[in-house]
């Protein structure tokens, strides 16, 4: 019951957040949301780092589940998404399932989400790329080698990371929409020409990306440092001991989060005039 109750709390908060967004869809409001999502991602990575790599959770031959072929992580994610779908999670345009096929319908009263995005947004889901990036490239960078047998807890932590990353990256649809609304004359020629390179150039601001890189690295330092009560308020942990290496979080954003977000933006804008 606690898990189901938590789902409904999540759903209510998501509705409030989305209602706030659509009432004030500006570049500033979208930017603030992205900054808040940075906190969530950093905390999720730190929580996952509590466990070692626990490779059996990702091994398709480990779990022998009747009627299912796949890793334990995939099984738990599929079952979690089915439950969350009944609570209406994927009615929210911010949320994207990793296994969207054959999800059950929501059992809660529908929320009247205003149509902020172009209908083409519904067809854009790059969670397969996010899954591959997380499991095969990111995890080995911050999860220590080892096996403590806590596979279900590990997978649950993985779900938090995957969903936070998916939400952040697919939020590129909102970023693209607000940028298009602010300057349609800049984007329309490239959209009509279906010029992906031109759109990518319009969406790239290296100074902003560098600021994001530095900010998330700083958050990883602040959120992940060991607290020592013997230090004075002005002392700084000079040992550089963090729960997650800040450079890993920085690389996460530089190599994957920001490029994949721009990929979502380009895919959205290519269909914006349909």
Residues 6 or more apart from 204 whose CB is under 8 A from it?
A: 262
User: How far apart (Å, rounded) are the C-alpha atoms in residues 201 and 189?
Assistant: 13
Maximum distance among all Cα pairs of the chain, rounded to whole angstroms: 63
Would you state the pLDDT for residue 233?
A: 52
User: How far apart (Å, rounded) are the C-alpha atoms in residues 32 and 38?
Assistant: 10
Would you state the pLDDT for residue 63?
A: 84
| pTM of structure | 0.88
Would you state the pLDDT for residue 227?
A: 77
User: How far apart (Å, rounded) are the C-alpha atoms in residues 178 and 93?
Assistant: 15
Residues 6 or more apart from 112 whose CB is under 8 A from it?
A: none
Closest CA to 20 of 28, 7, 8, 29: 29
Residues 6 or more apart from 52 whose CB is under 8 A from it?
A: 143, 144, 145, 146, 147, 148
Would you state the pLDDT for residue 232?
A: 56
Supply the DSSP string of 99-151, one letter for each residue. S-TTPPPP-SPPP-----S-GGGGG---HHHHHHIIIIIIHHHHSPS---S-H
Q: What share of the chain is helix, strand, coil (3-state, %, to 5)?
A: 65, 0, 35
pLDDT under 50 in the chain at which residues? 1-23, 236-238
CA dihedral 208, 209, 215, 220 (to 10 degrees): 170
């Amino acid at each position: 019951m606690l898990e189901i109750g938590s789902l409904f709390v999540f759903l209510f908060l998501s509705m409030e957040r989305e209602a706030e967004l659509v009432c004030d869809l500006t570049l500033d409001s979208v930017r603030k949301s992205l900054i808040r999502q940075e906190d969530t991602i950093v905390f999720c990575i730190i929580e996952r780092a509590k466990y070692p790599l626990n490779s059996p959770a990702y091994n398709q031959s480990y779990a022998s589940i009747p009627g299912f072929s796949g890793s334990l992580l995939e099984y738990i994610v599929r079952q979690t998404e089915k439950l969350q779908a009944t609570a209406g999670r994927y009615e929210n345009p911010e949320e994207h399932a990793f296994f969207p096929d054959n999800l059950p319908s929501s059992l809660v009263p529908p929320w009247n989400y205003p149509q902020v995005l172009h209908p083409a947004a519904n067809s854009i889901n790059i969670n397969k790329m996010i899954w591959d990036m997380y499991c095969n490239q990111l995890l080995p960078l911050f999860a220590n080698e080892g096996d403590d047998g806590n596979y279900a807890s590990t997978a649950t932590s993985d779900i938090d990371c995957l969903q936070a990353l998916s939400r952040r990256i697919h939020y590129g649809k909102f970023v693209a929409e607000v940028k298009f609304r602010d300057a349609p004359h800049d984007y329309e020629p490239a959209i009509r020409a279906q010029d992906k390179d031109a759109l990518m150039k319009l969406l790239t601001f290296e100074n902003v990306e560098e600021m994001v890189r530095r900010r998330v690295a700083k958050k990883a330092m602040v959120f992940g440092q060991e607290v020592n009560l013997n230090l004075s308020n002005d002392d700084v942990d000079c040992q550089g001991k963090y729960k997650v290496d800040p450079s890993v979080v920085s690389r996460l954003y530089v190599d994957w989060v920001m490029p994949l977000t721009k990929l979502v933006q380009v895919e959205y804008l290519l269909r914006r005039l349909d």
